[in-house]
């Protein structure tokens, strides 16, 4: 079956760095998405990786290793507003999105 795994919850300190991991097993691969979702709001697109490597976008970076079925989202210089759920989703060979359950990130002062 198809499966996306990411930690349920993580806690980090303001100003620090946190890495949220995502591992996947899917039927085919057409890219991996990271979304940020604040409570009560629609998910916001953060990144899309389809090739191996690291993509940096400001304080957020996303890494992909297709051979390992692994991605991570790296958040630097954490701010209180980064407290949110982070969703990992993989698009499979049928262009369907397989969603992870999301990682709730708690930022402490």
Partner 1 sequence: GAVVSQHPSWVICKSGTSVKIECRSLDFQATTMFWYRQFPKQSLMLMATSNEGSKATYEQGVEKDKFLINHASLTLSTLTVTSAHPEDSSFYICSARDLASGVTDTQYFGPGTRLTVL
Chain residues that interact with partner 1, rule: CB under 8 A: 35, 37, 39-40, 42-45, 48, 87, 89, 94-99, 101-102
**Closest Cα partner for 34 from 15, 16, 54, 14?**
54
In the complex, the smallest distance separating the C-beta of residue 103 from partner 1, rounded to whole angstroms, is 12
Residue length of the chain? 109
Q: For residues 95 and 109, which CB has a smaller minimum distance to partner 1 in the complex?
A: 95
**Closest Cα partner for 59 from 36, 75, 81?**
75
In the complex, the smallest distance separating the C-beta of residue 4 from partner 1, rounded to whole angstroms, is 10
Q: For residues 21 and 30, which CB has a smaller minimum distance to partner 1 in the complex?
A: 30
User: Which residues of the chain form beta strands (DSSP E)?
Assistant: 3-5, 9-13, 18-25, 32-37, 44-49, 53-57, 60-65, 70-75, 84-91, 97-99, 103-108
Q: For residues 78 and 89, which CB has a smaller minimum distance to partner 1 in the complex?
A: 89
In the complex, the smallest distance separating the C-beta of residue 109 from partner 1, rounded to whole angstroms, is 23
């Amino acid at each position: 079956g198809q499966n996306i795994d990411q930690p349920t919850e993580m806690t980090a300190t303001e100003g620090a760095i946190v890495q949220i991991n995502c591992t996947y097993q899917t039927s085919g691969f057409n890219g991996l998405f990271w979304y940020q979702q604040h409570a009560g709001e629609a998910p916001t697109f953060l990144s899309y990786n389809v090739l191996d490597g690291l993509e940096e976008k400001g304080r957020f970076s996303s890494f992909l290793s297709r051979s390992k079925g692994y991605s991570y989202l790296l958040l630097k210089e954490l701010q209180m507003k980064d407290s949110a759920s982070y969703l990992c989703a993989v698009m499979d060979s049928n262009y369907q999105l397989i969603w992870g359950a999301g990682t709730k990130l708690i930022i402490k002062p």
